[in-house]
Structure formats: structure tokens, C-alpha cells
A = this chain, B = another copy of it.
Amino acid sequence: MQRPVSPSRLKIACSNCNLRELCLPVGLSEDEMQLLDEISHLKRGYARGDYLYRSGDKFQALYAIHSGSFKTQVLHEDGREQVTGFQMVGEIIGLDAISTEHHTCDAVALEDSEVCELPFDKLEALSREMPSLQRHLHKIMSREIVRDQGIMLLLGSMRAEERLAAFLLNLSQRFAARGLSPTSFQLRMSRREIGSYLGLKLETVSRAFSHFQEDGLISVKVRSVEILDLPRLHGFVGK
């Protein structure tokens, strides 16, 4: 669980990336923070559609999203693709690649984005010296496993509109954790991408949006969403 951080505070706290506040907010001393900063470096200039890495690429580093957002997707031989997540500022991607030393999914920018590259061998070495960093790295990996469990629950046992409600509530909560409005935000992904993530066709996603709007739960105009009745949207999931 990440605590709310105002954008200005974030800027102050972060020398070249947002690691401190959002990704690694555990009890590291200033000196330890410094060491972490030294092994990481910022990579700029990713535009919508650009790949941060591709499935099969050799694993070198984890990435902390510094600005913008990404999607991750796995591809099946026959061309089918499954979006496995949407990542926003402060989240870490690339954990899948530790297993085989090669990435097992693609990471694609959803908008203009920047990332902080964290060479994994250096991160491992540092975490041997810093138990709090070690523990934090473990928690990040575990959190990803818990997140995946939640998606399995969603895909395996919820109906279409429940899935969309759960998706919107998840976005809402993550925006709130970043000091942004939990009820009014822009979607950075297409209906097709949402559908892929939720195991639905894009038309079904569009209809569910329309239905929520008719019910007065949300107001939606293409990519901009306003949640009008957060409690009722909550009640919708798991009912």
C-alpha cells in the first residue's frame, strides 16, 4: 500500500527518479538512498506504442516508472495477446524476467513516459548489504503475486460488468494513492486493451461503460471517466 504523495513533494524527494517515495519507501537512511540512486538511471523519451522491452529480450534490469504509464502483455503463438497489467508511476516492472533471465512479456508505453532503470545484479548486491532493501524487494515481488491472484479471481469468477467495476475501482484507488482524484481521471488505454485485460471483447467493455452511465454510476466520454457513485460501484462487485 503506497501512501499519497503530492506531485510537488514527489519532485522534491526524487533526485532523478521517484524511487524514494513511491517504490522504495521503507526505512532506508539517506546514505542508503544515495547508494540506490547511484545504481539507477533515468531513461527518457518513450512515446505511446514504444516498447520498453519485448518478450525474449535478455534480462538486465527492473524498471520503476517515473512518468507516464505502460501495459504488459503476453503473446500466444497464434497471435492472441493477453494484457496482464497496466502500470503507472512508481510501479516496478520486469519481475517476470528474473526467472529465466529473459523477459516473458512485452512492456509497451501507453503515453509519453520515462523510466528508472535498476540493473538487477547491482540491486541484488545492494540488497545483500541492506536488509531493509532486501525485504522491500521481496515485498514488491510478493505484491505482484497477490495482484495476479486478484486478476485470476476476476477472470475466473466475475461477470463482465463486475470485471469492469473492479477495474475502475482499482484505477481509482491507485490514482488516489498518488494524490490524484479517485473519481475523475483519463483512461490511457483503449477499449480493446481494457477488454484484453478483462478477458472481454471491446464491444462488451463499451456496453458495460454505457450501462454504468445509464445507471448513474459513472459519467464516461470515451477516455475520460468520472465516478459518480463510488459506494454503489463497490457494491456492484461481488454482488
Within A152-210, which residues are at the interface with B (CB < 8 Å)? Answer: 152-153, 155-157, 196-199
A152 cross-chain contacts in B, Cβ below 8 A: 74, 82, 84, 148, 151-152, 155
Name the segment of A10-18, A32-40, A43-51, A97-105 touching the other chain.
A97-105
CB <8 Å contact, A145 and B146: no
Distance A15 CA – B103 CA, assembled complex (angstroms): 35
A 130-151 binary contact with B (CB < 8 Å = 1; else 0): 0100110011011111101111
A199 cross-chain contacts in B, Cβ below 8 A: 155-157
Distance A21 CA – B105 CA, assembled complex (angstroms): 29
CB <8 Å contact, B149 and A148: yes
A78 cross-chain contacts in B, Cβ below 8 A: 238-239
CB <8 Å contact, A128 and B134: yes
A139 cross-chain contacts in B, Cβ below 8 A: 98-99
- Interface residue A76 (Cβ < 8 Å from any Cβ of B): yes
Q: How far is the CB of A87 from chain B (nearest CB, A)?
A: 13
A111 cross-chain contacts in B, Cβ below 8 A: none
CB <8 Å contact, A143 and B82: no
* Nearest-CB residue, chain B, relative to A137: B138
* Nearest-CB residue, chain B, relative to A129: B128
Q: How far is the CB of A58 from chain B (nearest CB, A)?
A: 15
A238 cross-chain contacts in B, Cβ below 8 A: 76-78, 80
- Interface residue A95 (Cβ < 8 Å from any Cβ of B): yes
A-B CB contact pairs (8 Å), 10 listed = A77-B238, A96-B149, A97-B142, A98-B142, A99-B145, A124-B134, A145-B145, A145-B148, A155-B155, A156-B199
Residues on A facing B (Cβ under 8 Å): 74, 76-78, 80-82, 84, 95-100, 104-105, 124, 127-128, 131, 134-135, 138-139, 141-146, 148-153, 155-157, 196-199, 238-239
Q: When A and B form their complex, which 3 residue pairs have the shortest distance between CB atoms, in order from nearest?
A: A98-B142, A148-B148, A156-B199
